[in-house]
Structure 1
């Protein structure tokens, strides 16, 4: 089978038969989905009608009708004698990109819930949570419970947590509660990313950054990153060529590679921001998950410059099911953010906020040290399993966070990730974290699952990799 034809059949059009409607419309809808998900981009050539019909086991007329529908909708362009090509995305498909997490979770649902999901860098289960007594959540609550910035108790608890455990002095008035870090990023983007403004980030970067910027008219510019995080020299060079950019920084753990910014790197980035007039957005979702024994806590950029806007989440440290995040902003911006948030209210429920408050107040150094120790053990286990069963993959131990980055000996990991999901193991392909197209050969794997789950997951990943390498060999 021709490699391009095989890719379309196995990846872009996979599952087309399960869609509703006549066959030609199922095929057309699958092509549109591939374009919307970024699997197919402008200029990509679709297989010839007859070849595709044979591969899908339908009549040529069915494929012709599907291509006619796509042409009429402006999705493809048919060039006589040359073929059918994906056009620039038409306006009616120009919707905000779905959060990669929701895409992968939906894929897990399609698999009947039996998949092992390593794409979500969040703690698994609730057994690790600090003990809290008396979960009579609504006892003593009065009034309607609607607080535009979040309930006062939670804002106070977040401020105390930031000050005590992240070395970032904060007052409750600086805090706005959100439904997670993605909501926090989207809220900040609405406030500070005007049309045409450039967001500079290290690459690979947070998987939800592109989704947070969708519809804002801004653009993402990726610069190199290394084991110490975003390269300050590259950031300075990029900032010198764009007016008043936004600098997105992950000081520790939130970066998909688990890099931790050194003090000198933090100072250099702040210098870049001050010289270029850049706004700085700092993601502290995993900043206190430094896995290096005896390492000092990373001092946030916001602790050294009050103009830095901070986003964070409790999902990475406590439990994703809370769906509680926050924005910590300078006072002049806080009121504007609050008005934006009130216009598009997606706050966590009051019971969730009360539970988050109690859990946060139960967090202490002893509990955090125990969490870090458990994560180190699971990280080292996953590294050993990958070295044993997938020696062709290149993996560096992450210094921080809940996931590691593996580089595969392929050009693009999307096809492999799709195949791995069919084997029951979900991973985040490099494309979901890459903005400069240099990391599409990577995958991000969470090590926050229990040891027996990690062992089962690697077995499935290895089986999928064996299948994938056979396919690659057959296509040459």
Structure 2
């Protein structure tokens, strides 16, 4: 519908002058908030530029810039000869220009007080989910719902997904449903990691691994990770000197650097397990999320050795709000894990399992391809933005998964992470993922947010970095005396003899 100019000024844009930032952005933020609150709806026409400028006592150029911002964000569209109209909200996997985030996140872009959380590497929102019509979460459910291994329907759908899309032949009876990958790892640690045992892991590693091992007295030993995954030779050397070691492997792109395990390293790790008696725990939470169109990842380790225990989560593929994960194992460990799972209060409820089942059944190859393409575009956008606004940072584009690892030119990113939070962006500092002290200069950034949120986040990260750099420079100037005069040196590195 068309609201008159007075309604826009008195109601939709009320209080715009009290917002922070330049005037064009204050007006844009007010419009975005009106859309988010459904005060205005898709198809509503905005006032013409000149009358709106006069009513707000701003220049026409300010209004034009405001509408440019809103159009670039996908909130409005301009139709020549007809006016400017509020757009409907497209799907999560559309192209960046055709894919605005919610208007709440636009407020973040516009400089509002909301924080942008890039520390959570999970899909943002639910717009990307496959369509499921007529969802009745309790239709067809029978019995009390307290199944020790989880819903048979979910385990069947999950087994089919793992078999067809991750090339991991799986039977429903091999699966135990958990409330996410962290719950799965905690159960596995309690069941198969003896107290005081050493766990070998690639570093940087999954931030939740130390928590899963808490109370076990386990010692973590880190070995390098590169674009081909965990260094299998280093893992072998570490395992060869241990008694029945455990090797933790992120093989599906779930490591902070988004590495995909190569075929040669896969075979090497399996040989290490057979020769040393090491137990391999494989995290496939981000399995299948390889980002390059021609990628042909190796089969999971668990496909080549039945003794490998695989864990995963549907949070990375579908939605974190489901809180549904899984363990794939068989034999004696399965019985112990079932007893631990039955005693746990964290198992997901029947409604979550039913929804997860329906969504998994709706997942097909075109949907997965669209999801990967959207993540690839967002990764590339984030790398480009960081290169443009933060050239001193070194981004490591991931081959798979939902997060980008970035190395900062500092010894420890922790203080910068705290400062970035004050600027409205939450990041995961390297220390949270590091067990050997070599990656404290890194940060992990989610690429799963919308393009417009990523743009806003980089703006804030750049402002926080400028502040941090000033603080570092001030600290150095106060701590160190002025250098003694000496000859100018160009293009040389001076070292002491």
TM range (shorter): 0.7 to 0.9
Match of 1:206 in 2: 206
* Equivalent in the alignment of 2:130: 130
1:336 aligns with 2:336: yes
Quote the residue 1:285 is aligned against.
Answer: 285
Deviation of 1:298 after TM superposition, in Å, equals: 3.2
Instruction: Give yes or no for the alignment of 1:230 onto 2:209.
Output: no
Q: Give 2:423's aligned residue.
A: 423
Question: Is the contact between residue 287 and residue 298 of structure 1 (CA under 8 Å) also seen in structure 2?
Answer: no
Q: Report if the CA contact (8 A) 1:252-1:298 is conserved.
A: no
Alignment check: 8 A CA contact 1:251 1:298 kept:
no
**Could you say which residue in structure 1 is the equivalent of 2:432?**
432
Q: Does structure 1 residue 467 correspond to structure 2 residue 467?
A: yes
Q: Deviations over 1:247-302 (max 9, x none)?
A: 11111210100111110010001111111110000001111001111112431001
SS of 2:139's equivalent? Answer: coil
Q: Is 2:141 the counterpart of 1:148?
A: no
Looking at structure 2, the residues matched to 226 and 141 of structure 1 have their Cα atoms a distance apart, in angstroms, of 46
> 2:305: which partner in 1?
305
Matching of residue 177 in structure 1 with residue 186 in structure 2: no
The answer for the alignment partner of 2:314 in structure 1 is: 314
In 1: Cα distance, 2:149 partner to 2:252 partner: 27
More moved, 293-302 vs 461-470: 293-302
Matched residue, 1:296: 296
* 1:82-93 matches, cutoff 5 A: none
Let me know the Cα RMSD of the aligned residues.
1.3
1:113 Cα deviation from its structure 2 partner = 7.9
Q: Which ranges in structure 2 are unaligned for 5 or more consecutive residues?
A: 1-107, 477-497
Partner of 2:257: 257
Which protein has the larger Cα radius of gyration, Structure 1 or Structure 2?
2
- The residue correspondences of 1:389-404 to structure 2 (distance < 5 A) are 389-404=389-404
1:217 corresponds to = 217
**Is 1:288–1:298's contact at 8 Å kept on the other side of the alignment?**
no
How big is each residue's C-alpha offset from its partner over 1:147-180, in whole Å with a ceiling of 9 and x where there is no partner? 1211111111111111011111111111000000
SS in 2 for 1:280: strand
Partner of 2:9: none
Mapped contact 2:113–2:424 kept (Cα < 8 A)? no
What's the CA shift for 1:226? 1.3
2:369 corresponds to 1:369: yes
- Counting matched residue pairs gives 366
What residue ranges of structure 1 are gaps of 5+ in the alignment? 1-107
Structure 1's consecutive aligned runs of 4 or more residues displaced over 6 angstroms after TM superposition are none
User: Is this contact kept in 1: 2:244–2:279, CA < 8 A?
Assistant: yes
Is contact 1:166–1:298 with CA below 8 Å preserved after alignment?
A: no
CA distance in 2, matches of 1:304, 1:364: 25
- For residues 375 and 354 of structure 1, the distance between their equivalents in structure 2, rounded to whole angstroms, comes to 27
Give the Cα–Cα distance (whole angstroms) in 1 for the partners of residues 345 and 321 of structure 2.
19
Contact 1:166 1:297 in 2 (8 A): no
Q: Matched residues in 1 for 2:464 and 2:425: separation?
A: 9
CA distance in 2, matches of 1:175, 1:455: 40
Deviation readout 1:37-77 (Å, 9 max, x if unpaired): xxxxxxxxxxxxxxxxxxxxxxxxxxxxxxxxxxxxxxxxx
* CA drift at 1:365: 0.9
Q: How far apart are 1:194 and its partner, in Å?
A: 1.3
- Cα distance between partner residues in 2 of 1:396 and 1:223: 18
Mapped to 1, the partners of 2:172 and 2:307 lie a distance apart of 17
Secondary structure at 2:369 match in 1: helix
- Hey, what's the Cα distance between the residues in 1 that align with 2:424 and 2:305? 45
> Which sits farther off after the overlay, 294-303 or 263-272?
294-303
Cα offset for 1:209? Answer: 0.3
Counterparts of 2:244 and 2:335, CA distance in 1: 22
